[in-house]
């Protein structure tokens, strides 16, 4: 019998074998086990890949939205008293020149310093970022945060603090906090700490625990006075249109900044962490690929049992003229169909998990009594997930590829079965 490959009758016979009850020589139980195994393996793979993508995207977004893409600072020179002076003078003219570079979308002179903040009986160490109101309004994760209180328009009349700082101090909009700087006023008896009081006009949540817990913003002129940076800044923040290709901008920025300047990109600052994430991603993909392979091996077990139970049928089919190729394709369809359905169900479950991860996570957190996700350890406030077509396709290709490959071996065993031996004792 010469028939085209994958003829309708081959699908019909394969379907009858798949849905046959055990009393009829079928292996429906093993088929269901194989189906569930593939489904759960693909679901786990897509869920892990989506969480991985979401975590990296959220982490990078908080870096790019609340920090400079490129930081320009001075190499420094020795002062008369000995310490190296790294401040930048004439920063306004330098900033104007940097804005002329193609692809630069934001330039902000910045003063930084570590101080102590105090409210009533609560104290905390924080980092002051001094910048103008215009520049603060163009910082995405601060001007347009996940959550905020107060009015950023009143920033010039006080300070803006992170939600973590406010929570630790028990502070609210309108409270006056004390900032204490150890490098204060120079007197005949040494340096006296400087203590100033400021009104909280804006509370932001940038989405990163370390930022919200340690950072406060102060108008540039006030920060220069408070931190002894009269007419100078510590560094200049630059944001670009394509932060993923930030290295393409560094040469032009250095030429404008001058020979004594150096640059520090966001990749330099967070590169080690991103590389660690990439290594972890690759390891997790390999581990979950093994899980998919183990699930696919259930298909082999089911098909071997099916071939054994259907030995008489194989002998009859070969006797009436079925070729080895037809027999191989029939049993290949049995295994491939199980892998295909399992993959489809796994993709659906994985996509639903990624889409509804917030309510699912809230439910788990409620059942376990809270505290499942500690932002102090994780860095971000919630478990993110992001569906990427590339991740879904990689899971589908891996699952179907393994399912199809492992199906070939028991199918070939069925095709090569000797019909005489199969019917000898019938």
Structure pTM?
Answer: 0.75
Contact 68, 239 (CB under 8 A): yes
Terminal alpha carbon distance of the chain: 24
- Cβ neighbours around 37 below 10 Å, total: 21
Nearest to 53 by CA among 278, 268, 245, 246: 278
Torsion of CA 123, 128, 133, 135, to 10 degrees: -140
| Strand 190-205 versus strand 159-162 pairing type | parallel
**Strand spans (E) along 152-291:** 159-162, 176-187, 190-205, 215-218, 235-240, 261-265
Do residues 184 and 193 touch, judged by C-beta distance below 8 A? yes
Tokens linked to 360: 């699912």
- CA 145, CA 166: separation in Å to the nearest integer? 15
Q: For 115-127, how does the pLDDT look when each residue is reduced to its tens digit (9 = 90+)?
A: 999 998 889 999 9
Each residue's pLDDT expressed in tens, for the chain with a length of 426 residues: 456 676 677 777 777 776 665 554 445 677 778 888 889 989 998 998 898 888 888 888 888 888 889 999 887 665 556 567 788 888 899 999 999 899 999 999 999 999 999 998 889 999 999 999 999 999 988 988 878 899 998 999 999 999 999 999 999 999 999 999 887 766 656 677 888 999 999 999 988 888 889 999 999 999 998 988 888 999 999 999 988 888 888 888 988 888 788 888 988 888 777 888 788 888 888 888 888 888 888 777 777 777 776 666 667 766 666 777 777 788 788 878 888 888 999 999 999 999 988 888 888 777 877 666 666 666 677 778 888 898 899 989 988 888 888 888 878 777 777 665 655 545
| Three-class secondary structure assignment of 77-113 | EECCCCCEECCECCHHHHHHHHHCCCCEEEEEEEEEE
Distance of CA 313 to the CA centre of its chain: 53
* Contact yes or no for 107/253 (Cβ under 8 A): no
Segments of 241-366 assigned E as strands: 261-265
Spacing of C-alpha 209 from chain mean position? 16
In which region does residue 160 sit, left (phi positive, over 0), alpha (psi from -120 to 50) or beta (all else)? beta
CB 215 within 8 A of CB 145: no
Interatomic CA distance for residues 53 and 46, integer angstroms: 10
Give the pairing type, strands 122-130 and 147-150.
unpaired
Q: Are 71 and 217 in contact (CB under 8 A)?
A: no
pLDDT tens digits along 356-403: 888 888 887 778 776 666 666 666 777 788 888 988 999 899 888 888
Q: Look up residue 400 and give its two tokens.
A: 């179907």
Query: In angstroms, what CA-CA distances link 254 with 89, 291, 407?
Result: 16, 50, 60
Residue 4 DSSP class: -
CA–CA dist 288, 395 (Å, integer): 10
């Amino acid at each position: 019998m010469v028939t085209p490959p994958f003829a309708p009758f081959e699908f019909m016979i394969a379907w009858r074998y798949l849905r046959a009850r055990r009393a009829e020589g079928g292996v429906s139980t093993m088929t269901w086990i194989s189906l569930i195994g593939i489904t759960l393996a693909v679901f786990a793979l897509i869920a892990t890949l989506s969480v991985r993508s979401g975590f990296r995207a959220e982490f990078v977004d908080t870096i790019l939205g609340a920090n400079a893409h490129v930081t320009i600072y001075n190499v420094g020179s020795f002062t008369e008293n000995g310490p190296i002076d790294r401040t930048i003078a004439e920063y306004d003219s330098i900033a104007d020149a940097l804005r002329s570079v193609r692809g630069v979308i934001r330039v902000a002179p910045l003063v930084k310093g570590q101080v102590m903040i105090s409210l009533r009986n609560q104290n905390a160490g924080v980092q002051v970022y001094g910048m103008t109101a215009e520049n603060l309004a163009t910082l995405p994760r601060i001007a347009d945060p996940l959550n905020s209180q107060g009015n950023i328009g009143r920033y010039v009349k006080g300070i803006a603090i992170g939600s973590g700082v406010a929570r630790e101090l028990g502070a609210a909009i309108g409270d006056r906090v004390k900032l204490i700087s150890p490098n204060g006023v120079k007197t005949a008896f040494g340096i006296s700490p400087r203590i100033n009081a400021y009104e909280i006009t804006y509370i932001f949540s940038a989405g990163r625990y370390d930022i919200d817990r340690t950072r406060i913003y102060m108008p540039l002129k006030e920060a220069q006075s408070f931190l002894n940076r009269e007419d100078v800044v510590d560094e200049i923040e630059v944001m670009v249109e394509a932060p993923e290709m930030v290295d393409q901008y560094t040469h032009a920025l250095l030429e404008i900044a001058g020979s004594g300047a150096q640059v520090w990109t966001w990749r330099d600052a967070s590169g080690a962490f991103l590389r660690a994430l990439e290594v972890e991603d690759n390891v997790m993909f390999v581990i979950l690929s093994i899980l998919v392979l183990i699930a696919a091996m259930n298909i082999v077990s089911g098909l071997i049992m099916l071939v054994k139970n259907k030995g008489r049928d194989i002998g009859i089919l070969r006797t009436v003229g079925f070729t080895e190729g037809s027999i191989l394709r029939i049993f290949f369809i049995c295994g491939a169909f199980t892998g295909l359905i399992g993959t489809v169900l796994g993709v659906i479950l994985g996509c639903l998990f990624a889409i509804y991860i917030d309510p699912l996570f809230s439910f788990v957190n409620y059942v376990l009594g809270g505290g499942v996700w500690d932002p102090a350890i994780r860095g971000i406030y919630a478990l993110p997930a992001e569906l990427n077509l590339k991740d879904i396709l990689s899971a589908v290709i891996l699952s179907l590829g393994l399912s199809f490959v492992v199906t070939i071996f028991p199918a070939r065993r069925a095709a090569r079965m000797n019909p005489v031996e199969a019917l000898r004792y019938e």
